[in-house]
Amino acid sequence: MEKEYTSSCLCGKVSLKLAGPVSMCFMCHCGTCRRQTGCAYSHIATFPSEKVAFFVGSESDITLHSTSEELVRKFCRHCGSRVSNEILANNQTAVPVGCIHDAFKDNTYVPDFKPRAHLFYGDRVADVNDDAPKLRTKNPADGLVSP
């Protein structure tokens, strides 16, 4: 049986049903994510886009913002919460882990949502002590950042 998760915005007018295994879970340290979240990094889980559907609300409840040719960010038009990012190049939907219900238990990540890598770690503003690989950019060929 396929796992299912639900995510929602702050006001609850937009909620997504997320099906299937998580494709990837990572922390992004790029400047765009920092400015968009107001935090040192963004904790993201990706799912195949065809496995993501509205549970509450619809596209009319969403505001779109393209930050690159590869990425369209979606926000709740009622409360401004980030709902998801559409990663156009590989047909994935990225969802903030903090918006996913049941992503944490007993003050830690459930296994599906443990970060598997840090992207754009070369741009970080704070060090993170964990065992996940720290990629200089988003491309493994660009190398790792040494601890």
Residue 145, pLDDT score: 77
Distance from C-alpha of 138 to C-alpha of 115, rounded to nearest angstrom: 14
* Pair 61, 14: CB distance under 8 Å: yes
Burial-class residue 147 by CB neighbours within 10 Å (0-12, 13-18, 19+): exposed
Short-list 121, 113, 114, CA closest to 140: 121
Residue 111, pLDDT score: 92
Residue 146, pLDDT score: 63
Query: Rounded to 5 degrees, what are φ and ψ at 51?
Result: -100, 10
Per-residue pLDDT reduced to its tens digit, 29-72: 999 889 988 999 999 999 999 999 998 988 899 999 998 888 89
The H or E element spanning position 35 is helix 31-37
Those residues of the chain that have pLDDT short of 50 are: none
Give the 3-state secondary structure of residue 36: helix
* Pair 44, 30: CB distance under 8 Å: no
Q: How far apart are the first and last CA of the chain?
A: 39
Beta strands in 4-106 (DSSP E): 4-8, 15-19, 24-28, 42-48, 52-56, 62-66, 71-76, 82-87, 92-96, 104-105
